Structure 1
Amino acid sequence: MATLAPRVVVVSRRSELDELLGRHGTRAAAAYFLRERGRDIAEVAERHAAQEAALAAVGAAVPADWRRGQVHRDDLSRFLFAPEDIVVTVGQDGLVANVAKYLAGQPVIGVNPEPGRNPGVLARFDPRELAALLPAVLAGRAGTQQRAMAVATLDDGQQLAGLNEIYVGHQTHQSARYVITTPKGKQERQSSSGVLVGTGTGATGWCASIALSRNLTNTLPGPEADELCWFVREAWPSPATGAKLTAGRVGRGQRLTLTSESERLVVFADGVESDHLVLAWGQRVAITAGDRRLNLVTGEPAH
């Protein structure tokens, strides 16, 4: 039986210019909209050109006899990834997080089209490096990091995974009421702006901003750690609710549990609010470090 040629799946998202043209119809109308707000469409067009150039360079780097696939971020939930795929994201670090939950161990190469603008924590490669990198990934010569993911499981079995963080709270970020149970079994009834549970990858993002503001950076796990960190946002102390259990760690095999005391709370991951689970009054959600890992290509020689 013939062996299938490897497939490179390129993941991207619409540029700001694409979104502006979709909203305003013409470039002139988009330029006027930005100009009225003190911005120049030339800056947006330059970023669009950088992304298009990166996508073209990635396409040129794929060997001619390899198969190709392409998917936009908005279509990820409907795209079928195959076990032999090599996934290449072209965009900001967040795009790696967006695709991670749909994968099952396929290697991910993050390409950064704007290294002067994007941090490049996950998307760390220049498009010109891809031609040499792809064969190394296929042969197993490229080093990788196994990044842990957080998994939220409802008491009815529904699950949602996140590479950076999972948020539980009110859909409009109003006060959420629930009972929190820590990995050590401590409980508290709370009213807050929601609970954030982050991974070692997410420790450089949303969780980092909370930890810095509270001088709790020692709570943040390392990039490849199997542990999670958690933070309660703006807990409100009252006769019926407390604000003592507001931060901590979730070790391997442990769980943080929230029991809803609101009619509708949502659970979403990595900032994608449209893809969420719903907690009705009395329902529970448990958040743990999952068994799945993001297989992130680092480019260093494999050991």
Structure 2
Amino acid sequence: MSEYYQFRFILVMRKTRLQELIERFNTWPQARFYLEHNQVDAQDYLDEHDLYQRRLQEAERTLKALGRFQLLERRLLPNYQFGPTDIVVTIGQDGLVANTLKYLEGQPVIAINPDPDRWDGKLLPFEIGELQSVVTRTLAGKSACKTITFAEARTNDGQRILAVNDLFVGPKSHTSARYLLSWNGREETQSSSGIIISTGFGSTGWFQSILAGALGVSGSESHPLKKGFAWHEQRLQFTVREPFPSRTTGTSLVFGAITLATPLKLESQMPENGVIFSDGIETDYLAFNSGTVVTISLAATQGQLIV
């Protein structure tokens, strides 16, 4: 029996582009016809899929030799019960790492890049050949680990959602959101296309696109947060998108830091179509309609990424 049998190794995977196309078109020949009809190289989809499956098989063999093993598809993450001693391994792109971290309670994540020639993988420090040594170092407490601060949105009716990268609060479609914003002892009624709340982990993503647009409009070239901020920093950054000034709506509270002492509170003034979602997953959302008050703060839960 393996000396590590008391641990459970969870291998988190995602469907390949080929598998998603087959689900859409029922068979691979039909999917291939669709691709080739649009002058897309179908062989690239096959090559990507075949390599990913080989990497999954290699990871499974490695982890099964060490102890108890579970293969988990990404869509099952919200309902899976992780144990406190689980060791979680992801094989996929950066987005899979963020998706996985959100459903853990501090268990370490080892992120494997299945195809370094295809994916840069800023959050994927390891290749498949390193998996066994990284796992054994992690179990021995000898691996370096980065702590990641999460964002939390909690509504006045008890609903809660976490974010690893960012939260969006606003309209479901391309319309205006109306709400009362309260922060740092001040409040303002606003109309905008929504609010982005970024963590340090996500501060080089969506947040940077908003910052780049603001710098372009203002004619500036630099900003203190142009390169983001640290993953572990005990802060979030909120940005109001396209705030509209009018007799009843203001634009003075459009950018600020959320800390333990300065949470952000938003009260919806929208009869319908208001949403709160995290990490770009629009299908998993909380309703943000009239009567809903949401408080955005630093989450007690933190992520641990092996580096």
Give the TM-score of the pair, scaled to structure 2: 0.91
2:224 aligned partner: 218
List aligned pairs for 1:142-181, cutoff 5 A. 142-181=143-182
1:211 shift after superposition: 1.6
2:206 aligned partner: 206
Which residues of structure 2 form unaligned runs of 5+?
A: 216-221
C-alpha contact 2:5 2:66 (8 A) present in aligned 1: no
C-alpha contact 1:226 1:289 (8 A) present in aligned 2: yes
List aligned pairs for 1:65-84, cutoff 5 A. 65-84=66-85
Secondary structure of 1:210 counterpart: helix
1:293 aligned partner: 302
Secondary structure of 1:203 counterpart: coil
Question: What is the one-letter code of the residue matched to 1:192?
Answer: S
Question: What is the one-letter code of the residue matched to 1:30?
Answer: A
Cα RMSD for the two superposed structures: 1.8
d(CA) in 2 for partners of 1:8 and 1:253?
Answer: 38
Secondary structure of 1:236 counterpart: coil
Secondary structure of 2:276 counterpart: strand
d(CA) in 2 for partners of 1:135 and 1:217?
Answer: 42
C-alpha contact 1:100 1:162 (8 A) present in aligned 2: no
Does 1:248 pair with 2:249? Answer: no
1:123 shift after superposition: 2.0
1:301 aligned partner: none
C-alpha contact 2:196 2:240 (8 A) present in aligned 1: yes
Does 1:278 pair with 2:279? Answer: no
2:219 aligned partner: none
C-alpha contact 1:5 1:66 (8 A) present in aligned 2: yes
C-alpha contact 1:92 1:120 (8 A) present in aligned 2: yes
Which residues of structure 1 form unaligned runs of 5+?
A: 299-303
d(CA) in 2 for partners of 1:177 and 1:70?
Answer: 43
Distance 1:53 1:289, change over 3 A: same
d(CA) in 2 for partners of 1:250 and 1:117?
Answer: 36
C-alpha contact 2:4 2:67 (8 A) present in aligned 1: no
Question: What is the one-letter code of the residue matched to 2:41?
Answer: D
1:240 shift after superposition: 2.2
Secondary structure of 1:62 counterpart: helix
User: Which deviations, in whole Å up to 9, do the C-alpha atoms of 1:195-230 show, x marking residues without a partner?
Assistant: 110100001211121122223742442222111111
d(CA) in 1 for partners of 2:100 and 2:191?
Answer: 32
Distance 1:117 1:186, change over 3 A: farther
List aligned pairs for 1:21-100, cutoff 5 A. 21-62=22-63, 64-100=65-101
C-alpha contact 2:267 2:293 (8 A) present in aligned 1: yes
User: Which deviations, in whole Å up to 9, do the C-alpha atoms of 1:231-253 show, x marking residues without a partner?
Assistant: 11122222222223222211234
2:218 aligned partner: none
For these two proteins, the number of residue pairs brought into alignment is 296
Secondary structure of 1:58 counterpart: helix
d(CA) in 2 for partners of 1:218 and 1:117?
Answer: 32
Distance 1:255 1:173, change over 3 A: farther
User: Which deviations, in whole Å up to 9, do the C-alpha atoms of 1:62-82 show, x marking residues without a partner?
Assistant: 252400011111111121111
Distance 1:256 1:134, change over 3 A: same
d(CA) in 2 for partners of 1:37 and 1:255?
Answer: 49
Secondary structure of 2:248 counterpart: coil
1:151 shift after superposition: 0.4
C-alpha contact 2:5 2:67 (8 A) present in aligned 1: no
1:278 shift after superposition: 1.2
Moved runs in structure 1, 4+ residues, more than 3 A? none
Secondary structure of 2:207 counterpart: helix
Question: What is the one-letter code of the residue matched to 1:291?
Answer: A
